[in-house]
């Protein structure tokens, strides 16, 4: 079975998770940024990594996802929100809706990833009545995100995709 692990990453978080997952994939699997735009037809299993942008996958990841048809798929992503939050759950649902229905999504994983400090600064400048204004809760979440992805996140992702591979043996 030929496996492609492809990812989109603006600031490196998703790339870090991708490199961690790649370590447990068979030696002949391919690791590539979505920007390399590899032909999905050459692969049986495609694992795609994205970063969450406005509650869905980032545009580059979405554009690549749309080119995939009739494949086994694994999804992983990083985001600023907590992975067990409603926002994370809804983001993953939206991503799955973007995948063509002839594909089969067999595994999924999300973890936090540090938020671009420029975005945090933007939130800090918003007036207190703005829906995205910086609150104590939001500050705490950004601080927690700044510690991710960590070793435990990578291990968890590796476990999920190891299980996926063994289910296909």
Ligand X SMILES: Cc1cc2nc3c(=O)[nH]c(=O)nc-3n(C[C@H](O)[C@H](O)[C@H](O)COP(=O)(O)O)c2cc1C
Cα separation, 17 vs 155, in Å, equals 9
**How many residues can be counted in the chain?**
169
Q: From residue 85 to residue 114, what is the string marking binding to ligand X with x (rule CB under 6 A)?
A: --x-------------------------xx
Helix residue spans in the chain (DSSP H)? 13-22, 59-65, 86-98, 117-125, 136-145, 151-168
**Which residue's C-beta sits nearest to ligand X?**
113
The structure tokens listed for 43 are 């692969």
Q: From residue 9 to residue 28, what is the string marking binding to ligand X with x (rule CB under 6 A)?
A: xxxxxxx-------------
Q: From residue 127 to residue 166, what is the string marking binding to ligand X with x (rule CB under 6 A)?
A: ----------------------------------------
Smallest distance, ligand X to C-beta of residue 18, A: 9
**Is 2 in a helix, a strand, or coil?**
coil
C-beta of 16 vs 72, nearer to ligand X: 16
Q: From residue 44 to residue 83, what is the string marking binding to ligand X with x (rule CB under 6 A)?
A: -------xxxxx----------------------xxxx--
Cα separation, 168 vs 145, in Å, equals 33
C-beta of 27 vs 137, nearer to ligand X: 137
Compute φ and ψ for 55, nearest 5 degrees: 75, 15
**What radius of gyration do the chain's Cα atoms show?**
16
**Is 126 in a helix, a strand, or coil?**
coil
C-beta of 40 vs 80, nearer to ligand X: 80
C-beta of 12 vs 108, nearer to ligand X: 12
The structure tokens listed for 26 are 């068979």
Footprint of ligand X on this chain (CB under 6 A)?
9-15, 51-55, 78-81, 87, 113-116, 119
């Amino acid at each position: 079975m030929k496996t492609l692990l492809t990812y989109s990453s603006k600031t490196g978080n998703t790339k870090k998770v991708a490199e961690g997952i790649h370590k447990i994939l068979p030696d002949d699997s391919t690791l590539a940024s979505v920007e390399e735009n590899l032909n999905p037809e050459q692969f049986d299993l495609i694992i795609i990594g994205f970063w969450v942008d406005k509650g869905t996958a980032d545009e580059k990841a979405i554009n690549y996802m749309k080119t995939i048809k009739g494949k086994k798929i694994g999804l992983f992503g990083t985001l600023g929100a907590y992975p067990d939050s409603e926002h994370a759950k809804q983001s993953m649902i939206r991503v799955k809706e973007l995948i063509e229905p002839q594909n089969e999504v067999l595994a999924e994983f999300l973890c936090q990833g540090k938020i671009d400090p420029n975005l945090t600064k933007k939130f800090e400048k918003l007036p207190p009545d703005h829906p995205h204004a910086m609150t104590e809760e939001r500050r705490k979440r950004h601080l927690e995100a700044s510690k991710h992805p960590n070793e435990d996140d990578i291990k968890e992702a590796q476990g999920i995709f190891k299980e996926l591979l063994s289910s296909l043996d």
